[in-house]
Amino acid sequence: MIEIIKYNRQSTPPKLDAILSRTPDFSAEQEATVREIVSTVKEQGDRALLAYTKKYDGIAIKAADMRVPETEIKAAHRNADPKFIEIIDAAATNIRKFHETQRQTSYFIEDGDGVILGKRILPIERVALLIPGASAPLFSTLLMAAIPAQIAGVPHLCIATPPQPNGAIHPAVLATAHHIGIREIYKIFGAQAIAALAYGTDTIPRVDKLVGPGNPYVQIAKKLVFGTVDIDMIAGPSEIVVIADRTANAKHVAADLLSQAEHGSGYEAAVCITPSADLATQIADEIAHQAADLTHREAIQKALDRFGAIVVVRDLAEGIDLANRIAPEHLELIVADPWAHLQTVRHAGAVFLGAASSEPVGDYYAGTNHILPTAGAARFASSVGVDTFTKNISILQYTDQRLQKTAGHIISMAETEGLDAHANAIRIRIP
C-alpha cells in the first residue's frame, strides 16, 4: 500500500524525486477555464457569478439570496448541539491565546535634530475568508482564519463558502461564525467567488485580501487576482512528513500519515523518514491494516501511490536533511528527544514534537494555526497569523537642521542615478 525506499542523496528514486519536485502547477486547461471565469465575472458581475454558481455548484440562487440572512445564522447557533458550541469555544480560546502573542504595535524613534522615523501597524480594512465545504464543513479553518484577523483588528470580515446541495450553508459553519461574531456570509465559492470578491459586484462588496484554502480552481483564481487584492498564499494539497526513530509506535505513525492522506484530492503527500528498517516495515503493515477500515481508503490509496513513501535513512541527521529538502506543510518529530533536533529543522510549515503531538491536535485544538504553506513553499513562506491581516506605513519627519547636514549626500545619490528632479527637490530647499 505504501512504498519503502532506501535513501541515497546521490541517486534519488522516482517516487522520492516526485515528492521533492512537487509544485503547485496547474494544467493549461485549468488555467484557461479560470481565466475565462475571472474575466467574465469581472465584466458581468452578479449575472456571471450566479450563472457559474449554477454551473459548478448545481445551485440556482438569486442575487438577493447570496448573503445568508442573520436570522439563519442565529438559528444555526441556537439549534447547535451545546457540546459542539462548548468544543469550538474551547478551541477558539486556545487559538486566541496563542495568536494574541503575535500582536505588533506601531513605533517611533528619535534620530536627533528633531528627526522622527516610525512605522504604523494597521489592520487591512476588508478581508474575505475562504471556507471550503464541498467534502467537509471546515469550521476549524474558519476559526484559524477569523481569530487572527479579529486580533489584528480587521473591521470588515466576510465569509465565502459553498452551499450544500439543498442550497443552505452547513449549520456547523454558520454556528461557528455566529459564535465568533461574524455575520457577513455569502453562499459562493470557486473561481467565480474569487473574482467577485476581488472586483466587486452589485451584491458582493470588493475586499482587500483573500485568505483561505480551496481547490486548484480557487488557487488559480487567487493567483490571477493577486495585485488587485492581496492573498495569503497559493495552497496545495495537505502534506505530512513524520521523522520516527525506534522509540516510535508504528500505530501512531501510520495513523498520522493516514490522517493527511484522507483529504480527498489524491495528491496529498504522506512520508515517513526513519533510520530503522524494522520500524519501516511495521509502519507499512500498520498503514495497510488501518486503512482497510477507513471511509476514504480509495482516496488514501491514490495519495499514497503518488506522494506516499517510507524512507529509510542512515541516521536522524540525514532524515532531517531530507525533511528540509521536502519542506513539508506538517513535520512530526516522533523521536526520543525531539527538542534536540528542532534547531536543525529549517523548512516546515509547522513542527509537532513528540508522540502526543499528533498533527490533528494542531489542526483543530492546540492553538497554532493550520493554514500553512505547502508544495515546498515552507522554504520562504509562513503560516497564517496576525501579521497576515496587517499592513504597515513608514513615517518620516525630517527637519531643516538635518537636511542642511545631509543634502549633499542625498543630491549626490540622486545625480548618480541620473534623476535630476530628485536632486533638485533637495537642492531647492538649501539656501
**Which positions of the chain have pLDDT values less than 70?**
134-135
The answer to whether 301 touches 264, Cβ cutoff 8 Å, is no
pLDDT (0 to 100) of residue 25: 78
The answer to whether 374 touches 324, Cβ cutoff 8 Å, is no
CA distance 67 to 128: 13
CA distance 111 to 181: 43
Indicate the DSSP class of residue 296.
T
CA distance 363 to 304: 21
Q: What's the angle, vertex CA 200, arms to CA 370 and CA 189, rounded to 5?
A: 40
User: Is 252 assigned a catalytic role?
Assistant: no
- The domain locations on the chain are 3-24+236-366, 28-231, 398-427
The answer to whether 376 touches 349, Cβ cutoff 8 Å, is no
The answer to whether 349 touches 374, Cβ cutoff 8 Å, is yes
Q: Which of 259, 235, 242 is nearest to 323 (CA)?
A: 242
Residue 276, C-beta contacts closer than 8 angstroms, at least 6 positions apart: 244, 245, 246, 312
Q: Which of 301, 288, 294, 304 is nearest to 250 (CA)?
A: 288
Backbone angles phi, psi at 36, to 5 degrees: -65, -45
CA distance 356 to 179: 29
The answer to whether 67 touches 174, Cβ cutoff 8 Å, is no
User: Is 86 assigned a catalytic role?
Assistant: no
Cβ atoms within 10 Å, residue 62: 9
**Active-site residue, from 239, 262, 268, 329:** 329
Cβ atoms within 10 Å, residue 76: 22
Q: What class has domain 3-24+236-366? A: alpha beta
- Buried b / exposed e across 220-237, counting CB within 10 Å, b at 16+? bbbbbbeeebbbbbbbbb
Decide if 3-24+236-366 and 28-231 have a common fold: yes
The answer to whether 231 touches 210, Cβ cutoff 8 Å, is yes
| Dihedral sign of CA atoms 317, 322, 327, 329 in order | negative
- Buried b / exposed e across 403-431, counting CB within 10 Å, b at 16+? eeeeeeeebeebeeeeeeeebeebeeeee
pLDDT (0 to 100) of residue 264: 80
The answer to whether 189 touches 133, Cβ cutoff 8 Å, is yes
Which grid cell sits at 155? 473591521
CA distance 224 to 215: 15
CATH number for region 28-231: 3.40.50.1980
**Active-site residue, from 179, 252, 330, 370:** 330
Q: Which of 176, 193, 177, 175 is nearest to 185 (CA)?
A: 177
Cβ atoms within 10 Å, residue 179: 19
